[in-house]
Structure 1
Amino acid sequence: MCGHEAEQYSRRTILNVATAALAVGAAVALPGTAGASPARRRIPLDKISIQLYSLRSLLQNDPEGTLSALADIGYRKVELAGTYGRSATEFRAILDRCHLKASSTHVGIDGDLNQTIADAKVLGNTLADVPFAQFGTIAEWEAFAGRLNTAAVAFKKAGIKLGYHNHAHEFAAIDGVLPYDVLTAKTNKRDVHLEIDLFWAVTGGADPVELFRRNHPRVTQYHVKDRTADGQMTDPGTGVIDFPRIFAASCHTISEYIVEHDQPTDPLNTAKVGFEYLRTVRF
């Protein structure tokens, strides 16, 4: 999420959404089942990325040192969450010196869209995602879907694909209707892709595999963050979400597997743990 957008949307506020136990159970590994089938596939290195929001505490003061450390870990791609007081041109230069590509970015669409798109082009983004939206009525969600469609057309003309990143509340019904169903039904599937945050989807009671199957092939990005048995966020591969099951069902259309942790105690360790997990996981 870009700069001032972070405060506006409160993207990382922990949401008080009840977890649907059966759906969550389907998305987590059962004892003894995670490695039951022969490993056949892996994630290519050029599909592994990291959401820089996870490293915001380091990037503010030392963007070049932080990005260099990510490159040393093995990352080739990152997803942006603002440019930490630097212009798009300045931040792009840092990325280039660190041999990193910012293939994706989180953006708002209700401000100066032309400037947002111009900055995204300078930064080299080919994918952009709206990171957060929350409304109290279905009518408001429908109106937002319309704005997503309009913005997606503008991004498409610039060679950038626009998508939406979920939290958990999109899976909580309003008057019997799920906001996520509104978004997927009311946006143009050819223009608006989906970036599924696996932690928040599971927390909201959705089964990521069924979510993927219902929305194939517009699901093109995953935020890979894990969940403990009691619902806390944890580093990828250290919790109970059954990522091999999810990846096996969807790897043919996923272009980016993006490591993330909203509140890491040691951001660079989270980056390393997440990268090593995605590099070595088989499914």
Structure 2
Amino acid sequence: MLTRRKFLNQSGSFALGGLIFSKFAEEGFFPGKKMSTPIGLQLYTLGDLMITDPKGTLEKLAAIGYREVESAGSQKGNYYGYKPKEFAALVKGAGLHWRSAHIAGAPFTMDQVMRMAKTAEDSARIQKMMEKFKDRPKTANLKENYQQIADEAAEGGISYVVCSSIPVHTMDEIKTAVDVFNKAGEACKKNGVQFAYHNHTTEFDDVEGHRPFDYILSNTDKNNVKMELDLAWATKANQDPVALFKLHPGRFPLWHVKDLDKTNKNPAEVGTGIVDFKNIFANAKESGMKYFFVEQDGAPQPLQNVANSYAYLSKMMKS
């Protein structure tokens, strides 16, 4: 395992854009002081690092101070080319907890994916993502393989299975999503795992007189189907996360802690943009939050970016 001391001593050899990790250690941003909730990371933020060097990358996360991780689909499948039990062992060996897994809700057509874009920047980001995954072998999704995924979650010992995305642009798609979520939620429950759904901005659009976010929450079992609220996408959709907590108290055990830059509302390092984290965290109890994961889509310097986000959150949570 890469210890904090070794990480600090070796940091000069890492391509981290000149970030000086010893500064973080001096200012108390590394583990040592109690925090109410461990800071987690959505591994999608790291891009290809989880393909090229998963072990070393996880060890660097632990050295920064992260303690929880949430996996995401990759070019090598849902668990980076590992079986669930193997990936769990890899994460544990790095000093981390594999808490949650993002799984696709259903196969998407290119048209369905592009309908998620709100701006030209969104379109470019989505096209770049699709290009990366175009040659990926077909992997299990919740619509077609919910029982398999629930079983894999139990095998890996994780607490949550999260639907990363699913088409919700028509009422037929929304009703299909509700059916998938109720089935997946029941299967996960039987395996001792909690199911949840991760939002983007499209869940807050008007679809034939309905808002997908409300329809899904109203038509799924509140105990079997929870939400992972992406704070940035909710904010970008002109939603107040705290108002959502009050509307559906206890329904949000997971958060994606993501920021949006002040210029064009693209994903940014936590604490540098427009999301009101202090107010949101002050209302964590009402939301039912148990774990949260830093995320930055398309992070230009992933390890440096997640270290900066960790530093901000660590300081904020101790103030």
Q: TM-score, normalised by structure 1?
A: 0.81
Q: Which moved more, 1:273-282 or 1:184-193?
A: 273-282
2:191 equivalent in structure 1: 158
Superposed displacement of residue 227, structure 1: 0.9
CA distance in structure 2 between the partners assigned to 1:89 and 1:194 by the alignment: 25
Q: Does the 8 Å contact 2:158/2:193 carry over to 1?
A: yes
| Residue 77 (str. 1) matches residue 68 (str. 2) | yes
Q: Does the 8 Å contact 2:150/2:184 carry over to 1?
A: no
| Residue 193 (str. 1) matches residue 189 (str. 2) | no
Matching residue's letter, 1:54: T
CA distance in structure 1 between the partners assigned to 2:42 and 2:145 by the alignment: 23
CA distance in structure 1 between the partners assigned to 2:156 and 2:37 by the alignment: 18
1:86 equivalent in structure 2: 82
Matching residue's letter, 1:246: I
Runs of 4+ in 1 over 4 A off after TM superposition: none
Q: Write the deviation string for residues 161-196 of structure 1: whole angstroms up to 9, x where unpaired.
A: 001000001111012211111111111111111100
Of the candidates 69, 89, 97, which is equivalent to residue 93 of structure 2?
A: 97
CA distance in structure 2 between the partners assigned to 1:272 and 1:222 by the alignment: 18
1:4 equivalent in structure 2: none
| Residue 265 (str. 1) matches residue 261 (str. 2) | no
Q: Write the deviation string for residues 230-251 of structure 1: whole angstroms up to 9, x where unpaired.
A: 2121011111211101111224
Matching residue's letter, 1:102: W
Q: Does the 8 Å contact 2:42/2:293 carry over to 1?
A: yes
Q: Which moved more, 1:63-72 or 1:136-145?
A: 136-145
| Residue 52 (str. 1) matches residue 43 (str. 2) | yes
Matching residue's letter, 1:51: Q
1:27 equivalent in structure 2: none
DSSP-derived class of the 2:307 partner: helix
Matching residue's letter, 1:247: F
1:32 equivalent in structure 2: none
CA distance in structure 1 between the partners assigned to 2:53 and 2:198 by the alignment: 27
The one of the two structures with greater contact order (alpha-carbon pairs below 8 A, sep at least 6) is 1
Cα gap change, 1:66/1:165 in structure 2, threshold over 3 Å: closer, same or farther? same
1:25 equivalent in structure 2: none
Percent of aligned pairs with the same residue?
Answer: 33
Matching residue's letter, 1:227: L
DSSP-derived class of the 2:196 partner: strand
Aligned-pair Cα RMSD in Å? 1.8
Q: Does the 8 Å contact 1:88/1:123 carry over to 2?
A: yes
Superposed displacement of residue 46, structure 1: 4.4
CA distance in structure 2 between the partners assigned to 1:89 and 1:228 by the alignment: 38
1:250 equivalent in structure 2: 284
CA distance in structure 2 between the partners assigned to 1:228 and 1:132 by the alignment: 23
Matching residue's letter, 2:242: V
Q: Does the 8 Å contact 2:268/2:296 carry over to 1?
A: yes
Matching residue's letter, 2:281: F
| Residue 280 (str. 1) matches residue 315 (str. 2) | yes
1:111 equivalent in structure 2: 144
| Residue 140 (str. 1) matches residue 173 (str. 2) | yes
| Residue 227 (str. 1) matches residue 227 (str. 2) | no
Q: Which moved more, 1:98-107 or 1:115-124?
A: 115-124
Runs (5+) with no aligned partner, structure 2: 1-32, 73-77, 104-140
Q: Write the deviation string for residues 1-32 of structure 1: whole angstroms up to 9, x where unpaired.
A: xxxxxxxxxxxxxxxxxxxxxxxxxxxxxxxx
Runs (5+) with no aligned partner, structure 1: 1-41
Q: Does the 8 Å contact 2:92/2:98 carry over to 1?
A: no
